[in-house]
Amino acid sequence: MSKTKFRTWEEIKKELNFSPEEEEQIRFEEELIKTTIEIRQKKNLTQQELSKKSGIKQPAIANLENMNKIPQTTTLIKLLYPMGYTLKVVPIDNNKKNKYRYDEKVEDSITLREE
> Which of the four pLDDT bands, split at 50, 70 and 90, describes residue 108?
very low
78-97 pLDDT, tens digit per residue, is 999 999 998 887 787 765 55
Q: Phi and psi dihedrals of 19, rounded to 5? A: -75, 160
pTM of the full structure: 0.69
Q: Give the domains, in start order, of the chain with CATH numbers.
A: 19-114 (1.10.260.40)
Indicate if the pLDDT at residue 106 is higher than 80: no
- pLDDT score, position 111: 55
Indicate if the pLDDT at residue 5 is higher than 50: yes
Q: What angle do CA 66, 71, 75 make, to 5 degrees?
A: 120
